[in-house]
Amino acid sequence: MGWTSRMGAGMALALALGGLAACAEDSTAASTPTPSATSTAAPATAGLTVKDPWIKAADTGMTAAFGTLVNGGTTDVTIVSAAASVSPMMELHETTMVNGAMQMQPKQGGFTIPAGGEHVLEPGGDHIMMMGLTTPVKAGDEITVTLTLGDGTTVPFTAVGKPYTGAQESYAPGAHGSAMPEMTGMPSAGAHS
Amino acid sequence: MTISRRGLFTGGAAAIGGAVAGGVAVAALSPDPTAPPIPSPATLVDYGQAIEPFYGNRQSGVETEAQAHGAFVAFTLLPGTDRGALARMMRLLSDDAARLTRGEAPLADTERELAVVPARLTVTFGFGPGLYQAAGLPSPVAPLPAFPQIDKLEERWSGGDLLIQICADDPITVAHAQRMLVKDSRPFATVRWVQRGFRRSAGMEPARQTQRNLLGQLDGTANPASGTPSFGTAVWRADHSTQLVVRRIRAELESWDLLGRTDKENAVGRTLGTGAPLTGVNELDEPDFTKLDATGFPVMPDFSHVTRARQTDDRLKIVRRPYNYDDAPAADGTADCGLVFASYQSDIVRQFIPIQQRLAEKDLLNEWITPIGSAVFEIPPGAPEGGWVGQQVLV
């Protein structure tokens, strides 16, 4: 269906650009602890923190991470990739209007947050796409996501899984904007708990 | 029975007030000379931005002065919701509650503009017997015994594994909080029942005034007051937990209407006007159960609600924090109203059940009130800053 074909194109584009989020088997474990960031931690060395991070709960398939990227430093920061143990394929996405329907695509060059500025990741807007979930992201789960910056440093943060059914335009950009329920199935309390 | 002089006076005052146009003119005719003056706009409280704490040793919404609007939302846990899932659920719901009570939108709030008026919002979590069973833990609470003399309990208002008590001085704030919390409970539980109620709106009466129920009675006079040692003794355990009984009590307004004013006052043992005991003058006067009338009968009838419910030992008292409900009347006008009766106490078995048994055995007021719902919940300690309610129990 529409979602699959568009994602195929998106993934192909991402790979053509150099595999932004490829080979992320478990970047979390491999990431260096500095500079660090969590939802509540003080600004890290690089000045990047992630405020109010959350991930749309999903049992399988695709989901996305949201929050506000806050650059408390004095230089611009560019995020070039993201990784988490639950998803082998993550991309930095933007959402744009294409042929009258909202559609997402990889953000060329990543997210750049100006010095002292903020960058909001939200449904229907920029977000961190998480594909091919290998483990369900259940409601209330705490998931570590690690951002890689342009200079190679990594910034881990913890996002909570939230039940969420909205903003389906960013996940289901069908020809007529129709929703794709298989993508956004209700997360369950789950046998994995 | 005869109509008391007090009843005549009150009725006359109401008639005069009703004939005068304009709220100020009516207020000026207030029969109560001790009523405070109407505040000027400069002294009005910003009720919308008032905040009650969420984090703390004890959950808010118990000792908190009762807000104007309340929603009691009970849930049934889904079969897969085990101890680990309960922890995830309470982490989510606690974070939602913490943000909402600060006037901030929770994560993933699709109507975040509705979150900006906290209006003293409190979100209080209660754990029913089924939640402990799901967690593999012994339950500190059990359903009340049957009270066959009075109970007409309906399944649709009874039981529950999880309770969320949502109270605020604004109904939109309550509605938005309820919507957000229900959405985040969905992976774990289904909604079992919702009971919504109200009291006088903020600023309508002096703070700490006893609320008036829809039978017209002052309701809660004997409550230990918030912030007093008496309240602490009656309600809080050493670990800052407590217990809650929620009973839906229908008011039989049609038969209540058949009574004269004196009969109504005898049923309760208090005057309708001031709420004073029949042996006293002011609401807070201690009733004198030894005082006899000219015919040799106690002035406080032994069948009266106050006589039956009276409890002087703080360890045996309960704290009532009820909300009125008023649903649509039937086609013939029969009212569907009453109380969402919420009673807090340290120990339901020691405090609530003996009082309820005495009332069930002999309380004339039983003729005009009918319990139609019943549920019990443990109120676990509050969440530490950044923590979640129930972590002391479930981790």
Q: pLDDT tens, B218-243? A: 999 999 999 999 999 999 999 999 99
B241: enclosing H helix or E strand? none
Is residue A186 assigned to a domain?
Answer: no
CB contact, 8 Å: B200 with chain A?
no
Q: Which residues of B touch A141 (CB under 8 A)?
A: 88
- In this predicted structure, the answer to whether residue B166 has a pLDDT above a threshold of 50 is yes
Core vs surface per residue B173-186: b (16+ CB within 10 A) or e: bbbbbbebbbbbbb
Q: Any CB–CB contact under 8 A between B394 and chain A?
A: no
- Whether residue B119 is contained in a domain is answered as yes
The residue range of the domain holding B147 is: 47-394
Q: Are A50 and A67 in contact, with CB atoms under 8 Å apart?
A: yes
Residue A91 has pLDDT above 60, yes or no: yes
Q: Is B219 a catalytic residue?
A: yes
What is the identity of the amino acid at A86? Answer: V
Which residues from B are below 8 Å from A166, CB to CB? 108, 110
Q: Out of B219, B257, B302, B314, which one is annotated catalytic?
A: B219
Residues 6+ apart with CB under 8 A from B373: B153, B154, B156, B157, B158, B193, B195, B246, B247, B248
Boundaries of domain holding A124: 2-161
Amino acid at B351: Q
| Cross-chain residue pair A193–B187, CB shorter than 8 Å | no
The complex's ipTM works out to: 0.82
- What's the domain count of chain B? 1
A181 occurs within a structural domain: no
Asked if B78's CB is within 8 angstroms of A140's CB, the reply is: no
Q: Which pLDDT value is given to residue A35?
A: 41
The answer on pLDDT for B313 being more than 50 is yes
Residue B17 within any structural domain of the chain = no
Does the residue B79 lie in any domain?
yes
| CB neighbour class for B245 (10 Å; exposed up to 12, middle 13-18, buried from 19) | buried
Within a domain: B250: yes
The yes-or-no verdict on residue A189 having pLDDT over 70 is: no
pLDDT digits (tens, 9 = 90+) for B278-295: 999 999 999 999 999 999
* Domain total of chain A: 1
- Is A52 at the interface with chain B, CB within 8 A? yes
Query: Across the interface, which of B80, B95, B108 has its CB nearest the CB of A164?
Result: B108
**Min distance B327 CA to chain A CA atoms (Å):** 32
Q: Does A161 touch chain B (CB under 8 A)?
A: yes
Tell me if B251 is assigned to some domain. Answer: yes
Minimal CA separation from B220 to chain A, in Å: 39
Asked whether residue A189 is assigned to any structural domain, the reply reads no
What CATH number should be reported for the domain holding residue A61?
2.60.40.1890
Q: Is A183 inside a domain boundary?
A: no
pLDDT in tens, A46-73: 589 999 999 999 999 999 999 999 999 9
What's the whole-model pTM score?
0.82
A104 inside 8 A of chain B by CB? no
The minimal CB distance from B89 to the residues A66, A140, A186 is found for: A140
For residue A154, the cross-strand partners are: A148
Q: Residue A190 domain-assigned?
A: no
